[in-house]
Amino acid sequence: MTGTENRNQRSSPQFDEFYGRNRKTSAGESRPKSGQSGGRHQKPKQKLSIAAVIGIDVLCAALIMLLFFITSYVIQPESTGSSLPAPSNVSAAEMPSTTDGGSTTDPANAEGTDPAAQTTTQPDTAADTTSWRVKFADKFTSGNVEKTDMSYKDANINVSINKVQKDSITYFLADIYVADIQYFKTAFAKQPDVMGGREATNVVAQANNAILAINGDHCVDNNGPVVRNGQLFREEKYADALVMNYDGSMQTYSADALDMNAIKANGAWQVWTFGPMLLKDGQKMTEFNSTLKKANPRTAVGYYEPGHYCFLVVDGRQAGYSDGMTLEEMSKFFYDSGCKVAFNLDGGQSSEMVFMGTVINKPYDGGRSTNDILYITAQ
């Protein structure tokens, strides 16, 4: 068959009718009318149930929270500090001994002091002529250790803890005397001089031979200046701050009033942030630089004078046991206690007091790990 004949045959009426009918049939099969079944059955699209959508949303939220937890609490940057200037007589034990009136005092004639015992236990030196050791001589022993389940006393420190349950509030107040600034220290979790870890407060306390310890200011997750044992870790200003100087004095500052340049130039023993400050010029306060004013578990530090301090831990959020304290109640408490300075630290589930390695308060929901502690040590 020639090419012309082939083209003529394909264009014949019979050819067109046959193939046209088949094309129509195929087209009809591939596009069945509504209500009719065609050659192929298409499954209707399935919609997710409300329960499935909610489940997916919950799973996504959980993954986001897990990511936040890992980045905020597990993978944390570590940092080491830089040394700040310190007085040539870093230890308070090297300061000249004075009475409140400022006159020089002979430790051998100081009331409550046993010269023979001093000569025997620390024969030589200025360590026995400090103003703190003399002023609080009746608070320390001649060298032996005296302790109970809520107190500790030796030649350098005196800790007495009082548990009080009153008006739906339970708190633990530790009255503290130290003979030298070196017995009032801070430590970070895992590595005492490296900021960035997290551990249980009692674990950090035991690792640093703490007689008494409380949780700190949650410095890793909290903004603001950080100075620990004379080392500067962070200098940015954020909120209220508490400064402890080498002479044992304490002052609180708002972020605007804090002079970090002066601290870097002159040094400081500790600087905490979190807050707020609880006393202003030694007086009670009713307005605070904080939004967390309701009753909560709380941790705070108070200052009477150089060498004399207190730690306060208030349990809370536990109906029938303790509701916690408001900031205004805390302010009144420290004012009534005679403190000149008081400062709020991290609270809530973090609030813990550890004595001789044991948590003695009842932390909310079992407590949680912390970044740092304030502690009193005999070493």
Whether 114 is covered by a domain: the verdict is: yes
Residue 57 lies in a domain: no
Provide the percentage of residues in the chain whose pLDDT is more than 70. Answer: 73
Mean of the per-residue pLDDT values for the chain?
82
CA distance 272 to 239: 10
Residues 197 and 282 in one domain: yes
Residues 110 and 149 reside in one and the same domain: no
The parent domain of residue 229 ranges over 145-377
Residue 60 domain-assigned? no
Tell me how far apart the alpha carbons of residues 114 and 122 are, in angstroms, rounded to a whole number.
Answer: 12
pLDDT digits 0-9 by tens, 304-359: 999 999 999 999 999 999 999 999 999 999 999 999 999 999 999 999 999 999 99
In a domain, 214, yes or no: yes
CB-based contacts of 122, cutoff 8 Å, min separation 6: 128, 155
Between the two ends of the chain, the Cα-to-Cα distance in Å is: 115
Say whether both 156 and 305 belong to one domain: yes
The residue out of 107, 139, 171 marking a domain boundary is 139
Q: Which stretch, 100-104, 115-119, 356-360, has highest mean pLDDT?
A: 356-360
d(CA 244, CA 348): 24
| Token pair recorded at residue 140 | 């320390």
pLDDT tens-digit map of 253-297: 999 999 999 999 999 999 999 999 999 999 999 999 999 889 999
E strand spans, the chain:
79-80, 82-83, 146-148, 151-153, 157-166, 169-178, 184-188, 194-195, 210-215, 226-228, 231-234, 241-244, 250-253, 270-273, 298-305, 308-315, 341-344, 353-355, 358-359, 372-377
Task: Kindly state whether residues 99 and 225 are assigned to the same domain.
Answer: no
Residue 23 domain-assigned (yes or no)? no
CB atoms closer than 10 angstroms to residue 125 = 9
Q: Do 155 and 128 belong to one domain?
A: no
- 250 and 324 inside one domain: yes
C-alpha span between 154 and 122 (Å, rounded): 14
Residue closest to 227 by CA, chosen among 284, 272, 176, 277: 272
106 and 163 together in one domain? no
Q: How many domains does the chain have?
A: 2
* Residue 310 belongs to some domain of the structure: yes
Residues 150 and 99 in one domain: no
Domain boundary among 139, 154, 169: 139
CB atoms inside a 10 Å sphere around CB 360:
18
**Cα–Cα distance list, 93 to 125, 292, 365 (Å):** 9, 40, 42
Q: Does 190 lie in the same domain as 332?
A: yes
pTM of this prediction? Answer: 0.72
Asked whether residue 38 is assigned to any structural domain, the reply reads no
In-domain check, residue 39: no
pLDDT at 175 over 90: yes
CA distance 239 to 107: 42
Q: Tell whether 174 and 222 lie within a shared domain.
A: yes
Per-residue pLDDT tens for 225-238? 999 999 999 999 99
Lowest-confidence range among 65-74, 103-112, 210-219, 279-288? 103-112
Give the pLDDT confidence of 45-83 residue by residue, as tens digits.
566 688 877 878 788 877 776 665 554 555 456 788 899
Output the CA–CA distances (angstroms, integers) from residue 86 to 63, 155, 182, 195, in the order listed: 47, 25, 13, 21
Residues sharing a CB contact under 8 Å with residue 17, sequence separation 6 or more, in sequence order: none
Judgement on whether residues 163 and 128 belong to the same structural domain of the protein: no
Indicate whether 262 and 336 sit together in one domain.
Answer: yes
DSSP assignments along 315-327, one per residue: E-SBTTTB--B-H
